[in-house]
Homo-oligomer: A and B are copies of this chain.
Amino acid sequence: MFILPQKDSGTPTTSPGSVSTQGLHSNHGDGLEREGSGKPDQKPLKLYGVGDPTAMFSSDSPYLSSRGSIIKWFWDSAEEGYRTYHMDEYDEDENPSGIINLGTSENKLCFDLLSRRVSPGAPLGGIPSCKGLSSLGFLGTLPPESLLLASAALGTTFPPSWESHLPTGLSQSDMWRVEPSLLQYPDWRGHLFLREEVARFLSFYCRSPAPLKPENVVVLNGCASLFSALATVLCEVGEAFLIPAPYYGAITQHVYLYGNVRLAYVYLDSEVTGLETRPFQLTVEKLEMALEGANSEGVKVKGLILINPQNPLGDVYSPGELQEYLKFAKRHELHVMVDEVYMLSVFEESVGYHSVLSLERLPDPQRTHVMWATSKDFGMSGLRFGTLYTENQDVATAVSSLCRYHGLSGLVQYQMAQLLRDRDWINQVYLPENHARLKAAHTYVSGELRALGIPFVSRGAGFFIWVDLRKYLPAATFDEEMLLWRRFLDNKVLLSLGQAFECKEPGWFRLVFSDKTHRLRLGMQRVRRVLEGKSQVAEDAPSC
C-alpha cells in the first residue's frame, strides 16, 4: 500500500546530527506524490535521547511521597486534551457542537458485532447476513457503510464465502457462567482454561511453527500493566529500555510510575534515503547508535521495545527486519518486548504481517517476550485483558507474582476464553467485517487528506494515520505544534500531537480514523477549517 519515492542517499541516516528534516517526501502509493513540507530549516537532529519523565515536574503535595507527587503530576498534566474532550464530548443528538475525538486510538467501528457476541441471549454469529440484519432489527443501529463493507470483506485472507457459514438467530448462552472457581481466588497467572485458550489462539493467529504452551502464558488486565511488570522485574531503578521514536507515549508512564525505568529513544526521521527505505524506518544502525549513546551517558539499557504494527506509524516489520532487530538485541543481551496489540488490525491484505511468534527460530527465545491484548484487535480497551507470552519461566513467574496487582475478574476470564475460542465468529464474521470497515474508514480519511494536499504515512495497519502538518507551522518548533493542536481543540476536534510520541520533527500529528462515518466527516471538516483558516486563527489563539 505504501510506495516510496526515491531520493539520492549520500548521507547515512546513522550519522549523528547530520540528518535534516528538509526534503521529506512521504507519499501514498495510490496517487499522492511529493507533498513535502518544503521548509528550508536545516536543524540537526539527535539520533538518540534518554528520557527524563520528570523533566517538567512542578508540583508537590505535603501528603505524598516525592514519587507520589510525580505520579499525581502525570495524572494532572498528561491528559489535558482528554479532560477537555470529556467535558464537551460530541454527541450527534445531544451535543452536536461537542468535540470530535480523533485522538484516542480506539476502534469504534464494531461495537454492534461485539455487543451481539458478548451479550447473553443475543443471536449467535454476529451479522448473519446483510439481508438478515433488517429482519433482526439491527439495521437502525448500523452505519450504512457497514452493510456495503460486509460484502467488501470478501477479499481478505479469510474464507471468501463466510456469509454462507453463518448460523442465524441462535441464542447466545455461552458467554456468561458463574461458577465458584470463577468467584474465588484465581491462579494469579490466569485461570488455566484461559491460558490454554490464549496459547491456542496465539498459535493460530500468530502462525507459530509449533503449538504455543499455556505455561508460557500470563494473563493480566492489559498491556499497560504488563509494561509496568516487565520493567520492574527486568530492570533496576533508573535503568532503561530502548524504544524507536515516535512511539505510543503512554509507555513512558507504564515503565516509570511503578518501575522507575526510563526510555532511551532511537530517533527515527521522515527522510527517505534510498530505494529500500521508508520514512521513519528503523535500522540496526540506528539501534546501535542509540544504545551506544545511552551507554555513553551512563545509562544501563536492559531491553528493547518493539511495537509491531507500530503505533503511531502503522508500520509493519518484515520477518527479515524482525530477525535483524532480534539479533541486535541478542548481541547485547537485551530483552525484547514485542508489543503486538494491533496484530489483527492489519486491514490491508497486501501488507504481509508477521508476528514475532511466527519466526522459525528466535535468536534469543529466553529474552523475547510477546505482548497482546483485546483492547485494539477486539475494540475493547475497557475490558482490560492482556497477555504475555514468554518461554522464560523466570520472567513468567516474576510477572505472575506481580499479577496480584493486575488481576482480572474470573467472570471476564471465562468470557475471554469463550471469545478467543470462537474461531468461526472471529474468522468468518468479526475479522472480515472489522477489516472492511477499517479499510473503508481509512479510505475516506486518506482521501480527505489527499484532497487537502497533506502528506501522511500509513501502511494499512492500526487505527491511525501519521500526518505531516509541518507546512502549517510558521516555524518548525514544538511550541508551534502545540499552538496548532490547540487550534484543532478550539475548533472542536481532538488530535494527538507528535511531541506526545517523542517525535523529533515538529508538525506531525496522529489522526485516528477508526470511527463512524458521521463523526469522521465532521471531524475532517473541522480539521480542514483549521488548516484553511490557519493564519487568522493563529493570531487569535490563546498562548500555550
A500 at the binding interface (Cβ < 8 Å) = no
Fill in one digit per residue for A17-50: 1 if any B CB lies within 8 Å of its CB, else 0. 0000000000000000000000000000000000
A76 at the binding interface (Cβ < 8 Å) = yes
A71 at the binding interface (Cβ < 8 Å) = yes
Contact partners of A72 in chain B: CB under 8 A: 233, 394, 397-398, 401
> A313 to nearest B CB, angstroms?
21
* Distance in angstroms between the alpha carbons of A187 and B85 in the assembled complex: 13
Closest to A75 in B: B401
Q: Contacts A72-B233, A106-B185 given; indicate if A382 touches B409 (C-beta within 8 A).
A: yes
Q: Contacts A120-B121, A232-B258 given; indicate if A384 touches B401 (C-beta within 8 A).
A: no
Number of copies: 2
A345 at the binding interface (Cβ < 8 Å) = no
A236 at the binding interface (Cβ < 8 Å) = yes
List the one stretch of A174-182, A273-281, A429-437, A459-467 in contact with chain B: A174-182
* Distance in angstroms between the alpha carbons of A405 and B409 in the assembled complex: 14
- A residues 376-402 near B (Cβ < 8 Å) are 379-385, 392, 394-395, 397-398, 400-402
Contact partners of A442 in chain B: CB under 8 A: none
- A residues 220-257 near B (Cβ < 8 Å) are 221-222, 224-225, 228, 232-237, 239, 250, 253-254, 257
Fill in one digit per residue for A55-69: 1 if any B CB lies within 8 Å of its CB, else 0. 000000101111111
How many of chain A's residues have a CB under 8 angstroms from any CB in B? 80
Which of B63, B106, B225 contacts A392, CB < 8 Å?
A: B63
Which of B61, B68, B402 contacts A71, CB < 8 Å?
A: B402
List the one stretch of A5-13, A107-115, A198-206, A351-359 in contact with chain B: A107-115
- Whether B184 lies near A402 (C-beta < 8 A) is no
- Whether A75 lies near B106 (C-beta < 8 A) is no
Q: Contacts A184-B381, A394-B63, A397-B72 given; indicate if A404 touches B120 (C-beta within 8 A).
A: no
Closest to A401 in B: B75
- Whether B236 lies near A67 (C-beta < 8 A) is yes
* Distance in angstroms between the alpha carbons of A279 and B367 in the assembled complex: 52
Which of B69, B180, B221, B398 contacts A408, CB < 8 Å?
A: B221
Q: Contacts A67-B233, A258-B232 given; indicate if A119 touches B408 (C-beta within 8 A).
A: no
- Whether A228 lies near B63 (C-beta < 8 A) is no
* Distance in angstroms between the alpha carbons of A224 and B404 in the assembled complex: 7
Closest to A227 in B: B405
Contact partners of A398 in chain B: CB under 8 A: 61, 64, 68-69, 71-72, 75
* Distance in angstroms between the alpha carbons of A253 and B404 in the assembled complex: 10
A186 at the binding interface (Cβ < 8 Å) = yes
Q: Contacts A233-B72, A407-B384, A409-B409 given; indicate if A366 touches B254 (C-beta within 8 A).
A: no
> A433 to nearest B CB, angstroms?
16
* Distance in angstroms between the alpha carbons of A379 and B379 in the assembled complex: 31
- Whether B235 lies near A65 (C-beta < 8 A) is yes
A478 at the binding interface (Cβ < 8 Å) = no
Contact partners of A115 in chain B: CB under 8 A: 178
Q: Can you list 29 residue pairs at the A/B interface with Cβ under 8 Å?
A: A63-B234, A63-B395, A64-B394, A64-B398, A65-B233, A65-B302, A67-B232, A68-B232, A68-B395, A71-B401, A72-B397, A72-B398, A72-B401, A74-B401, A75-B401, A104-B185, A108-B184, A120-B120, A120-B176, A176-B176, A184-B381, A185-B381, A224-B404, A225-B406, A257-B401, A257-B404, A258-B258, A384-B407, A412-B412
Q: Taking beta carbons and an 8 Å cutoff, which residues of A are in contact with B?
A: 61, 63-69, 71-72, 74-76, 86, 104, 106, 108, 111, 114-115, 118-121, 176, 178, 180-187, 221-222, 224-225, 228, 232-237, 239, 250, 253-254, 257-258, 302, 335, 366-367, 379-385, 392, 394-395, 397-398, 400-402, 404-412, 415
The 10 closest A-B pairs by CB, nearest first: A68-B233, A75-B401, A382-B410, A72-B398, A61-B394, A120-B120, A225-B405, A183-B380, A183-B382, A115-B178
